A and B are shown apart, each in its own frame.
Chain A
Amino acid sequence: MSPELGHFALALACAFAFAQTILPLIGAQRRDRRLMTMAPGLALGQVIALGASFLCLIDAAISDDFSVANILENSAVTKPLLYKITGVWGNHEGSILLWALILGLCGAAVAAFGRNLPAALRARVLAVLGGVAAGFELFCLTTSDPFDRVWPAPLDGQGMNPLLQDPGLAFHPPILYTGYVGFAVPFAFAIAALIEGRVDAAWGRWVRPWAVAAWAFLTCGIALGSWWSYYVLGWGGYWFWDPVENASLIPWLSGTALMHSAIVVEKREALKIWTVLLAIATFSFSLSGTFLVRSGILNSVHAFANDPARGIFILGLLGLVIGGSLALFAWRAPSLTAGGLFSPVSREGLLVLNNILLCSICAVVLTGTMYPPFMSLLFGKTISVGKPFFDAATIPLAIPLFAFMGFGPMLPWKRAQMWPVLRRLWIAALATLLAFAVATWSLSGVLPILCATGAVWVIATSATDIANRVALFRIPLGQSFNRARFLPRAAFGAALAHAGVGVSALGLAAMSQAQHKIVEVPVGQTESLAGYDWTLANVKTEPGPNYTALVGTIEVRHNGHLVTVMHPSKRSFNAQNQTTTEVSIHTNGFSDLYGVIGDKHGDDAHPTYVLRLHYNPLAPWMWLGALIMAFGGALSLSDRRMRVGAPRRAPVPNTVAAE
């Protein structure tokens, strides 16, 4: 019964979404308060219906209702409960439903937290969100119905890929999707502002928290995905520059630019048109990322052949959202008035530089991702670009970004002198010089050395920034502490997020020096790698619930002292005729020892085993840095100024000349 209820609830949500699009838009145009105030209620109704629909699908998954095609294809009686629940969004249909649910939640959040927005703006924002939601709910209902029944219902499902049965991957999609979908809110604000023909400081103030929140989720989602590939795939790699990964990196880069340019709109009323364009671009990248790349349309032209209806629907929807918003932008943006003036050396000037560099990196990644499919589509040539291309093209752009990140936050607005700022940074500069010396001595390669130096510079200047603000060591410590207490949390948040970038970059630079070794050894043999002695002490076969595992015991010693005992294993799933690799990782916070066991060879009297041993310096820092960044974003969101002292709009000025 419940799948039909879920299906009905989804249809209801779609109806709500259509109403949420049309009525408030008409209301805002005619200045009809009754129609405008319907928007929050409709948004709430939509999210309740979507929630009910999602619960129905989860219920069907938990109760093993194999008459539902989606459950049949992706679940089995023996699957653990956690993966029955998380498996709901591990497939195409379920993930679209989750996507719609998160979009609904964003709409409800705007309805709930947007009480102090002007009525017309709120109505328009909710209408845009409703329109996007309506499109995707219609897509879900017509071409990817998660509640489709099969008859007769089989007794057991087909099960889930064992590789995907992992807690990291279970929570990766919701977090990543929240990031992607979160950028729908700045997008809706941008469209509403274009319809209204007005962008001002208050608008920047309203948009910024949404951009920061979406960015923090996207950061976490990307880091979680990268961590998953590091410890599950067992190749020792953390980022493969494959189109699916790039699809999340591109909106992250443009979203980072958006978050920064919104500050300029809020504080100085400049860069308005640019910020609106960035908001549109970021959401367009998110949409294309989730749907074009994931559905394989870009990777393979044949994806259309599998289900033409889906491909055409999605392309049409993307064309409507992206093309429509860009057309609106082209039509309305010239009517937005130009903003405040600033000199190139000023905080705005540096934020502009930040935007240019981030967008350049974004353009490079976009080109690298799109070039191969276009070549194959237009010229029939199959090519690929990989890590060497992206490293060579993006890192030289990232290094000046690190350099400017250091002193940007310390420059005053509007017009600044470089000298007083640089004078305050001598300790940070000293630390950076020291780091450069250490990096030249311990790292090889120009880019890793520069990257590590830039990373230390960013961390040191972020610390200096906070120290300066609390006048550390210039006034008694107690007073400094008091100052720190009253320092806005956004200042700490920004410094933390910047320091997080530095921590991640240090991890990336150090990981370029990772060492590994592949050996085939009998039990008892010792190998040395990176100053550690790795001994294969024992290998045994252990039965599991639905697999048999080959478990190795590797003792790692450093100068004769036992550091750790690792138990990597290789599982063979008989049902799926599939093997998975269980990596064993030992970390001390500064480096990872990473062991993988491969096949058994030789006769039974003298068996040998293939081992893959890795030494990964500073590997945990890459993800730690991302967590620090996201935490910085969260801290900045908790700033009182984001919540209270709601900005009031200045009354509409009568025809003000732009000049």
Chain B
Amino acid sequence: MKRKTRRLWLVIACVAGLGAAAGLTLSAFSSNIVFFMTPSQVAAKVPPADRTIRLGGMVVAGSVHRERHGETPVNSFEVTDGQAAVTVQFEGILPDLFREGQSVVAVGSMTPGGGFAASEVLAKHDETYMPKEVAEELQKSGKWDPKFGPPPNAASWNAMTAKDAKTSSRGS
């Protein structure tokens, strides 16, 4: 085996390996990327029902309801970003850190009725934690800017925006 032949083999093997990796990555990207959306973005353009999205915002105070469908516990609550609210339905146990008036990220897809069916609800870390996406959206919508100190008290903030959210969603 000559050095050149060996090098050719190596190059072929490397190209095949990396090509396979790139192909797999691209094909997996095209079907498995999950976009983050806020309730106002959802209200502006409703994503198709077969598309998984991450919906993030604050849980509207007093909006959490529980029902039992047979033996399955179903939770419903409203998620707001201060401009619009979306009702989320979730079958299962809400995470330990789930609180009214605090930030949450729900993974799932839209239902034909305009609601959101969550397959997973994430509320992680300590009480002051806010998912980065939610914080950014709050900043964009002008509700809170990190330059001017810590986020507002969750309860008061939410009471205010819950009303705002209701009116704006009715208006739209």
Residues of A within 8 A of B (CB): 161, 299-300, 302, 305, 338, 341-344, 349, 352-353, 356-357, 359-361, 363-364, 367-368, 371, 381-386, 388-390, 392-394, 396-397, 415, 518-521, 527, 570, 577-581, 596, 598-599, 601, 608, 610, 612, 659
Q: How far in angstroms is the closest Cβ of chain A from B142?
A: 17
A-B contact pairs, 12 of them (CB 8 A): A356-B18, A382-B35, A388-B31, A392-B28, A392-B32, A415-B1, A520-B73, A570-B96, A581-B96, A599-B94, A612-B92, A612-B93
Complex alpha-carbon distance, A338 and B3, angstroms: 10
Contact B3 A364 (CB under 8 A): no
Stretch of B5-13, B42-50, B77-85 lying at the A interface: B5-13
Contact B146 A305 (CB under 8 A): yes
A579: chain B residues at CB < 8 Å are 96
A612: chain B residues at CB < 8 Å are 92-93
B96: chain A residues at CB < 8 Å are 570, 578-581
Contact A302 B24 (CB under 8 A): no
Question: Which chain A residue lies CB-closest to B97?
Answer: A578
Contact A360 B132 (CB under 8 A): no
B9: chain A residues at CB < 8 Å are 344, 349
Contact A389 B29 (CB under 8 A): yes
A601: chain B residues at CB < 8 Å are 66, 73
Question: Which chain B residue lies CB-closest to A305?
Answer: B146
Q: How far in angstroms is the closest Cβ of chain A from B68?
A: 5
The 5 tightest CB contacts between A and B, nearest first, are A360-B21, A382-B36, A356-B17, A389-B32, A598-B93
Contact B25 A518 (CB under 8 A): no
Complex alpha-carbon distance, A545 and B51, angstroms: 47
Contact A360 B1 (CB under 8 A): no
Q: A352-B13, A385-B33, A390-B28 are in contact. List 19 more A-B contacts (CB 8 A).
A: A300-B132, A357-B17, A360-B20, A361-B21, A363-B21, A371-B29, A382-B136, A383-B35, A384-B54, A385-B29, A393-B27, A396-B20, A397-B20, A527-B71, A580-B96, A581-B96, A596-B93, A598-B94, A612-B92
A608: chain B residues at CB < 8 Å are 68
Q: Tell me whether B14 is interfacial, beta carbon within 8 Å.
A: yes
Contact residue among A353, A382, A397 (Cβ-Cβ distance under 8 Å from B21): A397
Contact A518 B73 (CB under 8 A): yes
Complex alpha-carbon distance, A279 and B28, angstroms: 29
Query: Contacts A382-B136, A518-B92 hold; do A343 and B25 have CB atoms under 8 A apart?
Result: no
Complex alpha-carbon distance, A586 and B167, angstroms: 51
Q: Tell me whether B72 is interfacial, beta carbon within 8 Å.
A: yes
Question: Which chain B residue lies CB-closest to A396?
Answer: B24
B132: chain A residues at CB < 8 Å are 299-300, 302
Q: How far in angstroms is the closest Cβ of chain A from B66?
A: 6
Residues of B within 8 A of A (CB): 1-3, 6, 9-10, 13-14, 16-18, 20-21, 24-25, 27-29, 31-36, 54, 66, 68, 71-73, 91-94, 96-97, 126-127, 132-133, 135-136, 146
Contact A342 B6 (CB under 8 A): yes
A570: chain B residues at CB < 8 Å are 96
Question: Which chain B residue lies CB-closest to A596?
Answer: B93
B92: chain A residues at CB < 8 Å are 518, 612
Contact B33 A389 (CB under 8 A): yes
A359: chain B residues at CB < 8 Å are 17
A596: chain B residues at CB < 8 Å are 93
Complex alpha-carbon distance, A415 and B13, angstroms: 17
Question: Which chain A residue lies CB-closest to B93?
Answer: A598
Contact B32 A385 (CB under 8 A): yes
Complex alpha-carbon distance, A387 and B133, angstroms: 20
A363: chain B residues at CB < 8 Å are 18, 21
B2: chain A residues at CB < 8 Å are 341
Contact residue among A302, A341, A352, A610 (Cβ-Cβ distance under 8 Å from B73): A610
Query: Contacts A382-B133, A384-B54 hold; do A341 and B28 have CB atoms under 8 A apart?
Result: no
Query: Contacts A342-B6, A397-B21, A397-B24 hold; do A383 and B66 have CB atoms under 8 A apart?
Result: no
A357: chain B residues at CB < 8 Å are 17
Query: Contacts A385-B32, A385-B33, A612-B93 hold; do A364 and B13 have CB atoms under 8 A apart?
Result: no
A599: chain B residues at CB < 8 Å are 93-94
Contact B35 A381 (CB under 8 A): yes
Contact A353 B32 (CB under 8 A): no
B33: chain A residues at CB < 8 Å are 383-385, 389
Q: How far in angstroms is the closest Cβ of chain B from A536?
A: 11
Q: How far in angstroms is the closest Cβ of chain A from B33?
A: 5
B126: chain A residues at CB < 8 Å are 161, 578
Q: How far in angstroms is the closest Cβ of chain B from A432?
A: 23
Contact B36 A392 (CB under 8 A): no
Complex alpha-carbon distance, A415 and B9, angstroms: 14
Contact A302 B35 (CB under 8 A): no
Complex alpha-carbon distance, A599 and B31, angstroms: 36
Complex alpha-carbon distance, A393 and B32, angstroms: 10
Q: How far in angstroms is the closest Cβ of chain B from A291?
A: 18
Contact B3 A610 (CB under 8 A): no
Complex alpha-carbon distance, A608 and B71, angstroms: 10
Contact B32 A388 (CB under 8 A): yes
Q: How far in angstroms is the closest Cβ of chain B from A233?
A: 9
Contact B13 A356 (CB under 8 A): yes
